[in-house]
């Protein structure tokens, strides 16, 4: 309905006393909240419990590890090598853990060998529905550290020590999530 005189916006103008905050329609609505006439009874009041959806945008930076994840998205497994002592890491490292010098990136072969494995019957919430699954540490000749990953294509319910030393090939998810799980291994 049109009104001849518009209401003034609810805000403080110069040289004016503060006005009330704007009232919105999105407050919490509770029904039947009892309130005693005798205030002495308030201490016995049951707590008011509210339920409401909660959502956050979680922003996480990979920082100087970013090239590793860009590699996974492009079907490449990247390791790092110390520019001074030559120590080779199967993981992203900006600086050498041994001598502290800067590291360079290099491409790891896509075929490695199982150094050891474990069958997981429990996991964090994200992986719980996939249990049991097999985790492996992958080794490469001339690379000084190991790479933790999933082994697919073996039966977790029939683990075998013959898996140790087995050649495995890296596979990459076509739809990258930019997570370490973008890569997994299968028997080569």
How many residues lie near Zn ion (CB under 5 A)? 8
Q: Are 155 and 133 in contact (CB under 8 A)?
A: no
Which residue among 19, 85, 148, 164 contacts Zn ion (CB under 5 A)?
85
Q: Are 127 and 142 in contact (CB under 8 A)?
A: no
Q: How far is the CB of 87 from Zn ion (least distance, A)?
A: 5
Name the one range near Zn ion by CB under 5 A: 16-24, 25-33, 85-93, 162-170: 85-93
100-120 burial: b if 16+ Cβ within 10 Å, else e: eeebeeeebebebbbeebebe
82 binds Zn ion (CB under 5 A): yes
Q: How far is the CB of 107 from Zn ion (least distance, A)?
A: 19
Name the one range near Zn ion by CB under 5 A: 16-24, 43-51, 94-102, 115-123: 94-102
97 binds Zn ion (CB under 5 A): no
96 binds Zn ion (CB under 5 A): yes
98 binds Zn ion (CB under 5 A): yes
Taking the mean position of all CA atoms in its chain, how far away is CA 11? 43
148 binds Zn ion (CB under 5 A): no
Closest to 143 measured CA to CA, from 185, 90, 184: 90
Tokens of 154: 């073996």
Q: How far is the CB of 98 from Zn ion (least distance, A)?
A: 5
Name the one range near Zn ion by CB under 5 A: 19-27, 49-57, 90-98, 116-124: 90-98
End-to-end CA, the chain: 75
Which CB atom, from 41 or from 101, has the smaller least distance to Zn ion? 101
Concatenating the DSSP letter of every residue in 106-173 gives EEPPSEEEEEEEEEES---HHHHTT-SEEEEEEE-TT--S-EEEEE-SS-TTS--GGGTT-EEEEEE-
Which CB atom, from 86 or from 153, has the smaller least distance to Zn ion? 86
Q: How far is the CB of 94 from Zn ion (least distance, A)?
A: 12
**Which residues are near Zn ion by CB under 5 A?**
82, 84-85, 87, 96, 98-99, 101
């Amino acid at each position: 309905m049109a009104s001849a005189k518009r209401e003034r916006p609810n805000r403080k103008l110069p040289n004016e006393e503060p006005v009330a905050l704007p009232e919105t329609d999105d407050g919490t609505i509770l029904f039947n909240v009892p309130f005693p006439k005798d205030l002495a009874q308030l201490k016995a009041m049951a707590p008011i419990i509210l339920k409401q959806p909660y959502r956050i945008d979680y922003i996480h930076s990979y920082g100087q590890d970013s090239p590793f994840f860009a590699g996974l998205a492009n079907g490449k497994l990247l390791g790092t090598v110390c520019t001074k002592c030559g120590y080779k890491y199967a993981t992203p490292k900006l600086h050498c853990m041994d001598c502290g010098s800067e590291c360079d990136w290099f491409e790891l072969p896509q075929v490695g060998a199982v150094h050891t494995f474990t069958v997981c019957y429990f996991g964090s919430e994200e992986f719980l529905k996939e249990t049991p699954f097999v985790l492996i540490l992958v080794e490469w000749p001339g690379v000084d550290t190991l790479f933790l990953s999933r082994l697919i294509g073996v039966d977790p319910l029939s683990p075998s020590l013959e898996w140790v030393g087995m050649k495995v090939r890296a596979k990459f998810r076509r739809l990258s999530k930019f997570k370490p799980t973008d890569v997994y291994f299968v028997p080569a």
